[in-house]
């Protein structure tokens, strides 16, 4: 997807996101939050959107959220204010391909239902790996392309509509598994019908990173 398509899509969906896509993706989001709450620390949520997860993080988790859509972020800021979410450190507008954070900065980086939406997901994953601390976790919830079956056929049908519907139906898991510093720690399908995948990657405890 190109950046303009992302911007247009999420400006369009922002007013109704919580009751549409937000409701559909709730199961995966809850799995991710439950896991993160068992490993508190400094968290970066990439693609925080309207902030649906923010109120569910434990008080020991210091949350920073970023999103490219100002319309989405404004709804997240409203939630933080209305619910007095003191564990949310900041919410910032940012391009996930160029994260404005130091190397090895966060204990956990979460990307929920976002990697099949952003342009150049490989660059986003490289940035996620960079800002995650050695030994830290990358928690991903996403739909990944199936290799066979009826759903695989449907994914192929919808693939050309990525810029219109706002996500890639044919997104391959290999796209997020290319960073050498990150290794799969946990992977499992989620209901209903395994449409979404819960994926945890661990950054090598001896990984070194330098910006060039």
Query: Which CATH class name applies to 3-203?
Result: alpha beta
Q: What is the mean pLDDT of the chain?
A: 83
Q: Which residues pair with 30 in a beta bridge?
A: none
In what order do the strands lie in the sheet containing 182-190?
Answer: 88-93, 62-67, 42-46, 106-112, 132-142, 196-203, 182-190
Confidence of residue 191 (pLDDT cuts 50, 70, 90): confident
Rounded to whole angstroms, how far apart are CA atoms 180 and 177? 8
Task: Encode pLDDT of 19-38 as tens digits.
Answer: 545 455 778 899 999 999 99
Task: Encode pLDDT of 95-144 as tens digits.
Answer: 999 999 999 999 999 999 999 888 899 999 999 999 999 999 999 999 88
Task: Count Cβ atoms below 10 Å from residue 100 Cβ, excluding itself.
Answer: 10
Domain ranges of the chain: 3-203
What's the CA angle centered on 46, arms 101 and 24, to 5 degrees?
175
The more confident residue out of 151 and 66 is: 66
pLDDT value of residue 45: 98
Q: Which of 55, 62, 57 is nearest to 32 (CA)?
A: 57
What's the CA angle centered on 12, arms 6 and 14, to 5 degrees?
95
Rounded to whole angstroms, how far apart are CA atoms 211 and 151? 41
Mean pLDDT confidence for 56-63: 97
């Amino acid at each position: 997807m190109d950046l303009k398509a992302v911007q247009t899509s999420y400006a369009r969906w922002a007013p109704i996101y919580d009751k549409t896509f937000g409701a559909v993706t709730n199961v995966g989001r809850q799995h991710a939050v439950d896991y993160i709450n068992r490993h508190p620390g400094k968290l970066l949520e990439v693609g925080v959107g309207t902030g649906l997860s923010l109120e569910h993080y434990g008080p020991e988790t210091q949350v920073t959220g970023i999103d490219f859509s100002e319309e989405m972020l404004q709804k997240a800021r409203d939630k933080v204010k209305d619910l007095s979410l003191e564990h949310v450190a900041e919410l910032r507008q940012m391009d996930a391909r160029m994260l404005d954070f130091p190397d090895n900065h966060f204990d956990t980086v979460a990307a929920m239902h976002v990697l099949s939406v952003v342009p150049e997901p490989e660059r986003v994953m490289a940035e996620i790996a960079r800002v995650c601390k050695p030994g830290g976790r990358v928690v991903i919830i996403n739909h990944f392309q199936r290799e066979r079956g009826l759903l695989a056929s449907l994914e192929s049908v919808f693939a050309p509509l990525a810029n219109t519907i706002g996500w890639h139906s044919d997104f391959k898991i290999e796209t997020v598994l290319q960073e050498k510093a990150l290794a799969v720690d946990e992977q499992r399908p989620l209901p209903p019908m395994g449409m979404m995948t819960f994926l945890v990657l661990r950054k090598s405890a001896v990984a070194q990173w330098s910006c060039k």
